[in-house]
Amino acid sequence: MNGINRRYCLCYLGLSLIGIGSTGFHACLRWEWQLLDELPMIYVVSWSAYLCFDTLPSFKPRFGNFGYAAVLFWCIFVTFSYLYLPNPIYHQIAFAFILISAVVRNIFLIQRVPQGHPIIAHVTRTMAWGVLTFAGGFTIWNIDNIFCTQLRAVRESIGWMGFLLEGHGIWHLMTGYGAFLIFTAAIYLNLAVKVSPEAYTFDSHVYLPLVYPVLPAVSEENKSNREKT
């Protein structure tokens, strides 16, 4: 993934898995598929939170195997407790708790970056847009739930343009995009802390920002120059 350590690929892989589970659930509306939508949300945000606290240089696990075991135990605990108590509120609280913890941890990590470094602006802006987009989608989803009857009547009255008022669909798009922005900003910040703020760069000229290494590219350029001389 652009020369980035594979541990970060799991964040995007998990986000894709959520999309697959969500698609399956909305296609059949079966509870089993709903679990494949909701439980991966817990797994991926738990893993991303772990990465925020694992800041030991050179990708050595800060907590050893205990860290991996703690994440695994937490995910198993939430899974079985949710199967025993399948209350959406419980899932939302567990998810929000982990996500907020990760965001707060990232705010703390920003202070470890040299003052005035461009990474601070990149991470802050991307993280803020991610949180606002996610929160906006969550708000629209709740409005859609509260005023479901009224919104359905409006959609039926305006015909095919009614899809613009499909709050549930908008919720999926906004939370997915918001999570992508949060993950990307957190990965960029984590790499700056673990490796170096100069080792990676951030392409924010597109709506899907990318993180990629600088040093390999510099090495290849130097190698090319030596070959020419």
Report mean pLDDT in 10-residue bins for the chain, 229 residues. Answer: 75 92 90 91 94 84 86 95 91 90 91 90 92 94 92 91 90 93 93 88 78 62 43
CA neighbor of 103 nearest in space, from 41, 183, 16, 38: 183
Q: Which two tokens stand for residue 24?
A: 């399956």
The residue ranges of every structural domain in the chain are 6-228
Half-sphere exposure at residue 35, Cβ-oriented, CA atoms within 13 angstroms: 12
Instruction: Write down the pLDDT at residue 84.
Output: 92
Instruction: Write down the pLDDT at residue 226.
Output: 41
Report the distance separating Cα 1 and Cα 43, nearest Å: 20
Instruction: Write down the pLDDT at residue 198.
Output: 87
Q: What is 30-63 written as a DSSP string?
A: -HHHHHHHHHHHHHHHHHHHHHHH---GGG--TT
Instruction: Write down the pLDDT at residue 201.
Output: 85
Instruction: Write down the pLDDT at residue 206.
Output: 66
CB atoms within 10 A of CB 108: 10
Half-sphere exposure at residue 171, Cβ-oriented, CA atoms within 13 angstroms: 12
Is residue 165 within 8 A of residue 157, CB to CB? The reply is no
